[in-house]
Structure formats: C-alpha cells, structure tokens
C-alpha cells in the first residue's frame, strides 16, 4: 500500500483468521499474529527477510507483479524462507476503478509472474489501498482466490517515525493482521521498526502466514 482508505470492513473480512485456534486452547496459547508486507519485492525485502529469519518468524508478502518480474531472485528467497506470497496486482491500481476484465488482467499477470519466479501460484489477493467492491470480489471468487485485508494499519508508508510504526504494532492482539511495506518506496524506517518490535515481542506471539495464501 502506498496510501490507505478508511477500512471499517477490514476486521470483518479477516474474521476467519481469528478463529484458527479452538476456543479451549486459544487462551492458553500465545496470541496468534499475522505479519504482512505489501508492494515488494524490493531491495529492502532482503533486510526484512534477514530480521524474520533471525527470530524464526513467518510472514505473508503481497507482491506486485511488475516488481516480481524485475526481482525474481528476491521472490524466490521469500518462498525459500518459508513465507507465503500473495497477489498485490500487476501495477498497483485501485481495482474498483477497473472493469471486470481489467481486474482479471491485473490478477492473472501477477499470478503468472509469481509462478514463473517461484513455481507457486498465490491463493489470495490483497487489493491495493484496500479498495474492493462486488465486482472485485466476484472476479476473485471466479478465479478461486480469497481476498485478504488487515486490521492493524501501521501507516509506515506515510513517512512517520520508527517509534510511531512500533506504537501501531504494539496494538497487536490475538488475530491481528499487521500491514507493513517492504516496497513502494524507501522502507528503512519499516525495517528498523520491525527489528525493534520483534526484538521485544518475538516470544510473546505465535506468528503465522495467512490462511488461504
């Protein structure tokens, strides 16, 4: 994401994520959190992967097709690290402004690019800006893909400080889907925030990749 829409629907969209643990075991287990990264792969993705590997944390990366085409080796490293890759469209448009054919083209081109780079086809899509509607959902459903939004927006894309990003991450609780960015601009502050937050919280949560991706 390079900017964010108001997403009152995000939490409802991701409700299935919060029910992965049986009620009897959820309280006893560590809270489950899902780290997600948008707009890569980029050169900053390498630093993100290094930090995740240091703490044994798995994440989901929503990659832009034209970036994958230029950095296939980084996409392969994401998969090799045990992470999941989701589809973030080919050119990062607002899908609600496209026709059904336009939405399908953006998704299909990215599916093909990710498959060519990694040998895997994503099972989920994150619409850029969180912009979705009935047309988008219908196209994704016809392609057998699920839509994946978020419920913790760090706004790391907006130029805020490392401490502000960390403060947003500190609101995480069981079932949180945290939105971060490893591409779409220089992400040094995101990298430092991730390093700081995981150093303090890696043992507090159980980190999983998003179901369906």
The CA–CA distances, whole Å, from 43 to 56, 79, 80, 93 equal 21, 16, 17, 22
Told to judge if 38 belongs to the known catalytic residues of this protein, a careful annotator would answer: yes
* Candidates 38, 44, 153, 182; catalytic one: 38
For 17, the token pair is: 């994520």
For the beta carbon of residue 36, count every other beta carbon within 10 angstroms: 24
Nearest to 145 by CA among 107, 188, 189, 112: 107
The Cα–Cα gap between 29 and 63 comes to 31
Q: Taking Cα atoms as reference points, which of 119, 113, 132 lies closest to residue 40? A: 113
Largest CA distance in the chain: 47
The residue from 83, 88, 181, 182 that is catalytic is 181
**92 catalytic per annotation:** no
Catalytic positions, written as ranges:
38, 181
């Amino acid at each position: 994401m390079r900017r964010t829409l108001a997403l009152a629907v995000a939490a409802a969209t991701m409700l299935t994520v919060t029910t992965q643990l049986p009620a009897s075991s959820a309280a006893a287990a560590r809270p489950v959190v899902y780290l997600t990264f948008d707009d890569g792969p980029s050169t900053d993705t390498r630093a993100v992967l290094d930090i995740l590997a240091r703490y044994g944390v798995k994440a989901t990366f929503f990659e832009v097709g034209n970036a994958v085409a230029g950095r296939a080796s980084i996409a392969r490293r994401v998969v090799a690290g045990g992470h999941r890759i989701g589809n973030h469209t080919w050119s990062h448009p607002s899908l609600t402004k496209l026709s059904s054919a336009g939405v399908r083209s953006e998704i299909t081109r990215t599916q093909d690019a990710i498959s060519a780079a990694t040998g895997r086809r994503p099972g989920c899509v994150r619409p850029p800006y969180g912009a979705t509607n009935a047309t988008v959902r219908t196209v994704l459903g016809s392609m057998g893909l699920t839509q994946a939004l978020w419920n913790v927006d760090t706004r790391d894309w907006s130029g805020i400080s490392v401490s502000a990003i960390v403060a947003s991450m500190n609101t995480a609780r069981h079932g949180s889907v945290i939105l971060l960015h490893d591409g779409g601009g220089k992400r040094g502050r995101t990298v430092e925030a991730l390093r700081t937050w995981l150093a303090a919280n890696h043992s507090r949560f159980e980190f999983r990749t998003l179901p369906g991706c």
